Each structure stands twice: as structure tokens, then as C-alpha cells.
Amino acid sequence: MAGLELRNPTMNAAGVLGISAPLLKRIYEGGAGAVVTKSLGGPQRMGHSNPTLVSVEGGALNAMGLPNPGAEYFVEMIRELKGDGVPVVASFFGGSIEEFRDVALVLSEAGVDALEVNVSCPNVAEEMGMLGADPMNTEKVTEAVKEVAKSPVIVKLSPNVTDICEIARAAERGGADAITAVNTLKGLAVDADLRRPILTNVTGGLSGPALKPVALRCVWEIYEAVEIPIIGCGGISNWRDAVEYLLSGATAVEIGTAAMDGGFDIYGKIAEGIREYLVENGFKEVKDIVGLAHGG
């Protein structure tokens, strides 16, 4: 995947449990092919105050507000993980193109295996503007990150756009080595008794099975729009979901909300399910089925 050799195509989704080295290590021990950190910024952020997550039918709505200890602080965690032989993808964000570059440099020097540029968090848009809604900005950020990156650069896109292919092509032009599709859909939960929004941030990001059809469609469309590999993300709960993503054009998958029910071994279970699917259907490796549904 984008120059990386992973033992299997599963990862945790950014922001899901990636706040410390021991938790990320447990995800790896749970069977993931690589682990993804919480999105890291320059300065430390405390995130939004509670309620920050509530389940809705078919999924969860969250507005954590990108809490993170700051990229510099996290360097040691990355070193610890690398010391234990865990492949690490560092997710990160910035408030400006310069910050994106600076953070990328810090993380890159810490020795991560790949960088995942988060231009798509729906929960801090008012503070920082959702860069990922604009092709020009996406291209510029990608370029800036590529300038300093020593490892592959993955750009994570938002589904909250009119034409995701346009943004994917911008990332590709900017030099992205891969694309992660997608981040959460912007949603809202209101309580009829309290007569107010449930989340402190008012809106939040919809993840889980409810997101799956939209995310799968995004992967499908991006696969037809760019040449670089795609990491599928959104509502994957079992190996069947994961295979659907691979068939639609993803080379690997990230799994987030399903860890709520499934726990840490969900990564291994899904990886094993994919393997069995390949065997039963006479395929040798994951890449043999990537995008296969487009042929039908």
C-alpha cells in the first residue's frame, strides 16, 4: 500500500484509540496491519467538552474537537511504537499550510511509516476552516507536506463535499501517495425533551454503519478518478464490509466505530475474514480483488 508492506490491510481509523502508545500497541496486538494515531496538531488541544459522543440509529455522532497533546509531545510515543516494531501512520492537521508542514516535519523525523493528512474533520471547521472542501487548498497542503515528508503521504478526505473526485484529483496533483476515504458526515442530534442539540459542539461527525453506503460510494468514485491507492473507511464492522471496500477500489481499510462493539480483536477478525474470502474465492492476495466490482 503506497510503498508500505503490511501484514494485512486493516488499521484503526484516526482518532479511534490512537492517543497513546500502549493503546496503539494493543490495536496492533489485536491484529491490525498498522496503527493510526489520533490527529495531532502543533499546539496541545483539550477538545470540546462533554457530551462529545452519542449513538444514533445505525452509528455514532461525535465531536471530540481534536483533543491531542501536540505533535512534539507525541514523538516519544511514536518512538516507543517503532521500537516495538509497530508500523505507525501519523494522522495530523494544522491551522494553516505552514502548520501542516511543521507538524509533518516533526512526525516525519520521528520515523513514522506514513503521514495521514486530515483535511476533513467536520468538528473544528469554524475554528480552522475545512480545508478539504476546497481543491486548491487541498493541493497546496499536500504539496507542502510532501516537501518535508520522508515517508508516504496519505490525504484523508471528507464526504461533505459536492464532488469528492475533484478533491481527490487535487490531492493527487499535490503529490499524495494515497487517499483515505472518508472522514465522518456532518450530522446533528437534537433531544426532544431537552429541546436542544445533544453535543456541546452542536453538530458532530456521523460514523458507523449509517455512513457505509456513502463512504463506499466515495471510494468507488475516487477509484475511477485517480491512480493512487485508496484506504477505505466508514462503517466497516466485519470482513464482508471490508471486502466490499476492496472490491470497490480500496487497497486497505480503516476501522473505527466498530471497535465500540468489537473491541481490539476486531482488526484480527476482519483480517482473517478477508484472508478466508480470498482463499474460498480462489484469489491469492488482496490486490487481486481491488476494484474488481468495477468490471461487472
Partner 1 sequence: MSDWRTEAEAMRVVRLTKVKEEAGDMRSLHFADERCSEGVPGQYVMIWNPAAEEVPMSLASIGEDGNVSVVVRPVGESTEALCGMSAGDKIGLRGPFGNGYVVQGSSPLLVAGGTGAASLRPLAEEMVAEGLKPTFILGARSKDQLLMTESLVSLLGENLLTTTDDGSHGYRGYASTYADQLMKEKKYDMIYTCGPEIMMAAVFQVAEERGIPMQASLDRYIKCAVGLCGSCGLGPYRVCKDGPVFSSEQLREVRNEFGKSRMDPSGRAIKVDH
Q: Examine residue 87 and say whether the peptide bond preceding it is cis (omega within 30 degrees of 0).
A: no
Helix H or strand E encompassing 2:
none
Residue 200 grid coordinates: 456541546
Annotated catalytic residue within 121, 165, 218, 233 = 121
Kindly state the DSSP code that residue 100 receives in the 8-state scheme. Answer: H
- Of residues 37 and 207, the one with the C-beta less far from a copy of itself: 207
> Is 218 assigned a catalytic role?
no
Q: Could you say whether residue 232 binds a copy of itself (CB under 8 A)?
A: no
The least CB distance from residue 235 to partner 1, in Å, is 10
The least CB distance from residue 180 to partner 1, in Å, is 18
Q: Could you say whether residue 133 binds ligand FMN (CB under 6 A)?
A: no
- Of residues 211 and 230, the one with the C-beta less far from ligand FMN: 211
Q: Could you say whether residue 160 binds ligand FMN (CB under 6 A)?
A: no
| Three-point CA angle 256, 257, 262, nearest 5° | 95
Q: Examine residue 22 and say whether the peptide bond preceding it is cis (omega within 30 degrees of 0).
A: no
293 and 247 Cβ atoms separated by less than 8 Å: yes
Rounded to whole angstroms, how far apart are CA atoms 280 and 270?
15
Percent helix, percent strand, percent coil in the chain, to nearest 5 = 40, 20, 40
Q: Within 8-27, which residues bind partner 1 (CB under 8 A)?
A: 15-20, 22-23, 25-26
Q: Return the residue of 15, 159, 232, 291 that touches ligand FMN, per CB under 6 A.
A: 15
Residues that bind partner 1 (CB under 8 A): 15-20, 22-23, 25-26, 38, 44-47, 49-58, 60, 62, 64, 67-70, 73-74, 189, 191, 193-194, 196, 198, 200, 208-209, 237, 240, 256-257, 259-261, 263, 296
